[in-house]
A and B are shown apart, each in its own frame.
Chain A
């Protein structure tokens, strides 16, 4: 590791790839797209790890209980890698959207049994009884699925069931 800003931020991004979402443990905070920015301010006294790491994070949902744990895990991971001065900033705007999730993240979700968010948001108005999105079953790939509940096991997911393999599954709903 060197003291130049670019190399250090690259190293920090690499570390953050190891920090997972406690509620969807197959996804890293990078896959989720919630790390908005990483800065490294070199300390005037030099020293590779003496500078200040500033990580800017955005929550998925206002009340996501994982947010505090994620912030703590980011801090722990950086401490373990020798960084001493760590600042975590929270920004709300622009609001997080599922579009920020990486393609790799979407594939990991599907392999884990959670239907990834669709690229196009189709249900984003408050009108009642809209036609539901056609969501592909992550188990058998059927589109013959139906919404059970718009609210699921965590704030970011809706509950679906497959009409072919009959398995219930979570859908990472568009947001």
Chain B
């Protein structure tokens, strides 16, 4: 990987792009779950109705739990001073490997549920493969999380259908959300060096298989939602997996990491 310049020796930043592709992959899985969990949690107390406020924050909780499992596993591989907390709270923007999709702002309810639907569909087919990983810990985390993701996928599919095939207003909002988020879906299926390597070793998922399943599921839900599938020639954004993010991630980290940056080692 040609990104050695990103490696940081500081003890507060225990890992960046490791030479171990399993560590990079584990962090990629963790970062996706953490950043979307953090984003969804912004709805806490602001959901459109109480039940949906509870739903989106429940989903946050599941995602943050998955992130913790992956970070703990990454920390055990890295060793030294690395902990689940240092990996979440003390890495910089360029060290995060999450997909650009999960760091996009919440927008309205259509934007939030569509982003969840795109991500849950991706995560569902990813974990389906990962539960058969030759790496026992990755397989166990995926097996555990798959039940939760099944609920997320059902819930978010239903919202895409409800809003897409709802009123004129809800449909307009869903169409606007598609315009906004579609360019960030291409990156899901552009494998990074670490994904290629772990797939080869049957440790990680094969991105090409996820892509096929993802497209099928999205097409069927969009059809039921009477929403048009975007054309193939739309320019796709990329960079998240290599630590090149949209401007939004820095703001998320500023809020999420503030306490640990200001009062290092502070505990509840």
The interface of chain A, by Cβ under 8 A from chain B, is: 59, 61-65, 91-96, 124-130, 148-153, 155, 159, 175
Contacts and interface: CB of A to CB of B under 8 A. Distances in A.
- The 10 A-B residue pairs with the shortest CB-CB distance, nearest first, are A63-B65, A62-B65, A93-B140, A149-B51, A126-B153, A63-B61, A151-B58, A92-B140, A151-B55, A128-B157
A139 B58 CA distance: 26
B197 interface: no
Interface residues of B, number: 37
Residue of A92, A94, A96, A155 with most partner-chain B CB within 10 A? A92
A153 B58 CA distance: 9
A63 B161 contact: no
Contact of B151 (A63, A92, A96, A150): A150
Given A128-B158, A159-B51, 7 more contacts: A62-B62, A91-B140, A92-B141, A93-B139, A127-B157, A129-B158, A151-B51
Contacts of B174: none
Contact of B54 (A92, A125, A151, A175): A151
B140 A124 contact: no
A159 B51 CA distance: 8
A83 B123 CA distance: 43
Contacts of B224: 128
Interface in B146-184: 146-148, 150-151, 153-155, 157-158, 161
A150 B151 CA distance: 8
A43 B59 CA distance: 44
A95 B154 contact: no
Contacts of B155: 150-151
Residue of A91, A129, A149 with most partner-chain B CB within 10 A? A149
